[in-house]
Structure 1
C-alpha cells in the first residue's frame, strides 16, 4: 500500500510530495524552474536531513509560518 503525503502545493507546477512504499520514501519535488526532481530515502532521518538542508531557515525565501508548516508536514510523514 502506498501512502502519499502532500508537503506543500502552491499550484500545479510548484509542489512537493512524499510517497511511502513500505520502508522506502520517495520524494517528488516539482517546480516551474527545475521541472521534477525525485529523491529516494531509506529512512525518515535521512529524509529529514535532506529537508533541513533543502529548507534551511537561512536560505528559505518564504515566511516563518510557511517554513514551520513545511517542516511540520515532513515530520508527519
Structure 2
C-alpha cells in the first residue's frame, strides 16, 4: 500500500480507535512510508540490489521490533 504520512494518519487513527494495538498502528504508519513500492523503485535506481535487500530487511526487522515493543508496553501482548 502506498500513502504519504498525511494519508496514513487518518487510517491509523481509525485502526487505533477500532481496537488495534498502539504498536500495530505505529508499525503500519512506518511501513507505509518507509517500505512503499515507489520508494523501493527509486532506491533501486541509486543503490545495488544487495544493498537494497539489506535495507529492506533491516527496516522490516526494526519496524517489527518497535511494534512488538509498543504492544508489550501497552499490555496488548504478554
**Considering the TM-score relative to the shorter chain, is it more than 0.5?**
no
Work out which of the two has the higher radius of gyration on C-alpha atoms and give 1 or 2. 2
Higher strand proportion (structure 1 or 2): 1
Higher helix proportion (structure 1 or 2): 2
| TM-score, length of structure 1 as denominator length | 0.39
| TM-score, length of structure 2 as denominator length | 0.38
